[in-house]
């Protein structure tokens, strides 16, 4: 395994055994970034001076055999730009915010620094994080290292692309409609959408039941490690849950005897045959791990789910974008204007709340019988890196659908109190990975990590060095 594609778990073991130093690992990801970043464009900025200071401080701790180490001691990590750092730019991928500097840090940012992580840069997003792809007038096009003609997804696309390319060891994301899980699927990594309130946020979105900040990494254990750092109550966020939930190290063997429901289309979502095949392979892998997997049907309608989502966006995110942009709407991306327009034309917020309860009812009934639900993350194999027309339709199995109808992530924001772990399931003919979601009962985070560990062990895909995309250095 090349150093830049280590897992955080392995890196920590090597640090403690004095087989690797934090400075050496930072050197490796910085060198890799210089090689591939011109092709991928996943970073908004690097923070190398502070990163090397942190890496050297961690190096001294490990060399001295200190026991008082942070949970992320010495681990290179990238922060999604949406999560502000006091004194650094907070531009949200928008020309309307160009040059803005944050005066406060996001709660998880402080926790990550306090845990000893080596934060060495920040990752790209679409403008105001309102698209499932990652390109903007401000930062340009972020490309998928598996196939640079295609997107790594969005809105945490920079984090997904950077992890896949080997530009860091851990990264953060946020998810309001799939923004962690979509890049996890397209980029071949692991990501977790925590349930509402598990991770503290900032106003106004800390009050948004659809929205969650969460961890992204190269293994289930890595993602659990970062999740434990960022979770827990915070004095600035009244919605943050107490006490903090401490996930145990995920054990694949603990999944034996669990019962999982498999649903390929969540009712009526069109699914590419390759994605269906890879999802069924994931179900078989769980069966091989001793999990009881039974196929079920869901009475959901994607039309109703999408209508509920737009009504919700119309109450919070759409007006937020419109207010922030103000008189500078001519500077906005077409997808941002389209998002605000659709949100403004949606049903009322109250209608959306009613629909959310109706959508949850069959899922709640299902999860009273099963420990979790397994389904695809996306119905489509991929999208162009510079996907330009927000009104354009995607073809899936001969059916024309909007991007939001191709994302099986959205229902689990509509019912935002369920934990969802996204893991790879295989690779499609276009070279991009495919992914599945493990959806747990409300606030039952531990179960999805246990099942994820079992799936990771049985599929044995992203645990292999050969999994990661082979990129040629841009200057080679």
CATH of the domain at 342: 3.90.1300.10
Determine contact, residues 435/185, Cβ cutoff 8 Å: yes
Question: Lowest mean pLDDT: which of 166-180, 251-265, 318-332?
Answer: 318-332
Residue 123 lies in a domain: yes
Q: Which residues contact 432 (CB under 8 A, 6 or more apart)?
A: 144, 146, 147, 150, 186, 188, 381, 382
The tally of domains found in the chain comes to: 1
3-class state of residue 407 by DSSP: strand
Question: What pLDDT is stored for residue 476 in this prediction?
Answer: 52
Report H helices in 106-219: 107-114, 157-165, 181-187
Banded pLDDT at 78 (limits 50, 70, 90): very high
Residue 89 lies in a domain: yes
Residue 474 lies in a domain: no
Q: Looking at the whole model, is its pTM more than 0.85?
A: yes
Residue 185 lies in a domain: yes
Determine contact, residues 166/4, Cβ cutoff 8 Å: yes
Residue 475 lies in a domain: no
Q: Is the dihedral of CA 180, 185, 188, 193 positive or negative?
A: positive
User: Tens of pLDDT along 11-48?
Assistant: 999 999 999 999 999 999 999 999 999 999 999 999 99
Question: What pLDDT is stored for residue 326 in this prediction?
Answer: 79
Query: Average pLDDT in the 234-252 region?
Result: 97
Residue 472 lies in a domain: no
Q: In sequence order, what are the beta bridge partners of 407?
A: 378
Residue 291 lies in a domain: yes
Q: For residues 70 and 72, what is the distance between their CA atoms, to the nearest angstrom?
A: 5
User: Tens of pLDDT along 130-165?
Assistant: 999 999 999 999 999 999 999 999 999 999 999 999
Question: What pLDDT is stored for residue 475 in this prediction?
Answer: 57
Residue 246 lies in a domain: yes
Pairing of strands 394-396, 118-123: unpaired
CA 376 from chain center: how many Å? 15
Q: Which residues contact 371 (CB under 8 A, 6 or more apart)?
A: 258, 259, 260, 440, 441, 444, 447, 451
Q: In sequence order, what are the beta bridge partners of 439?
A: 373, 420
The closest of 435, 455, 459 to 252, measured between CA atoms, is 455
Is residue 97 scored above 70 in pLDDT? yes
User: Tens of pLDDT along 403-458?
Assistant: 999 999 999 999 999 999 999 999 999 999 999 999 999 999 999 999 999 999 99
Containing structural domain, residue 291 = 3-467
Share of the chain above pLDDT 90, in %: 93
User: Tens of pLDDT along 275-331?
Assistant: 999 999 999 999 999 999 999 999 999 999 999 999 999 988 888 888 877 788 899
């Amino acid at each position: 395994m090349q150093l830049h594609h280590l897992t955080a778990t392995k890196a920590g073991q090597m640090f403690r055994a004095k087989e690797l130093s934090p400075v050496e690992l930072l050197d490796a990801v910085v060198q890799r970034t210089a090689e591939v970043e011109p092709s991928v464009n996943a970073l908004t900025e690097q923070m190398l001076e502070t990163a090397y200071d942190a890496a050297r401080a961690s190096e001294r701790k490990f060399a001295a055999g200190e026991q008082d180490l942070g949970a992320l001691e010495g681990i290179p990590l990238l922060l999604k730009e949406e999560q502000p750092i006091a004194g650094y730019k907070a531009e949200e991928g928008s020309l309307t915010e160009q040059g803005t500097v944050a005066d406060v840090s996001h709660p998880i940012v402080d926790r990550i620094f306090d845990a000893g992580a080596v934060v060495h840069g920040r990752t790209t997003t679409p403008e105001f994080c309102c698209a499932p792809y990652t390109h903007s007038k401000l930062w340009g096009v972020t490309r998928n290292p598996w196939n640079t003609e295609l997107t790594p997804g969005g809105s945490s696309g920079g984090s997904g692309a950077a992890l896949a390319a080997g530009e860091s060891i851990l990264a953060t994301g946020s998810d309001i409609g799939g923004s962690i899980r979509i890049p996890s699927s397209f980029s071949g990594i692991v990501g977790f959408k925590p349930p509402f309130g598990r991770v503290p946020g900032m106003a106004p979105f800390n009050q948004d039941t659809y929205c969650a900040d969460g961890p992204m990494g190269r293994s289930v254990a890595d993602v659990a490690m970062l999740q434990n750092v960022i979770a827990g109550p915070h004095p600035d966020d009244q919605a943050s849950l107490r006490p903090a939930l401490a996930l145990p190290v995920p054990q694949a063997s603990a999944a034996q005897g669990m019962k999982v429901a498999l649903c390929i289309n969540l009712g009526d979502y069109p699914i590419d045959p390759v994605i269906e095949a890879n999802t069924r392979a994931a179900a078989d892998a769980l069966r091989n791990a001793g999990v009881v997997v039974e196929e079920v049907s869901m009475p959901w309608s994607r039309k109703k789910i999408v209508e509920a989502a737009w009504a919700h966006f119309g109450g919070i995110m759409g007006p937020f974008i419109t207010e922030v942009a103000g008189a500078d709407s001519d500077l906005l991306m077409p997808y941002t204007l389209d998002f605000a327009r659709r949100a403004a034309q949606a049903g009322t917020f109250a209608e959306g709340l009613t629909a959310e309860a109706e959508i949850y009812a069959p899922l709640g009934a299902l999860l009273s019988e099963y420990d979790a639900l397994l389904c695809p993350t996306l119905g489509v194999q991929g999208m162009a890196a510079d996907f330009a027309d927000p009104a354009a339709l995607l073809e899936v199995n001969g059916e024309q659908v909007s991007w939001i109808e191709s994302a099986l992530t959205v229902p689990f924001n509509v019912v935002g109190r369920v934990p969802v772990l996204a893991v790879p399931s295989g690779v499609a003919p276009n070279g991009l990975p495919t992914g599945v979601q493990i959806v747990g009962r409300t606030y039952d985070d531990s179960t999805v990590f246990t099942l994820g560990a079992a799936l990771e062990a049985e599929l044995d895909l992203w645990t292999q060095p050969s999994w990661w995309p082979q990129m040629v250095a841009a200057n080679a």
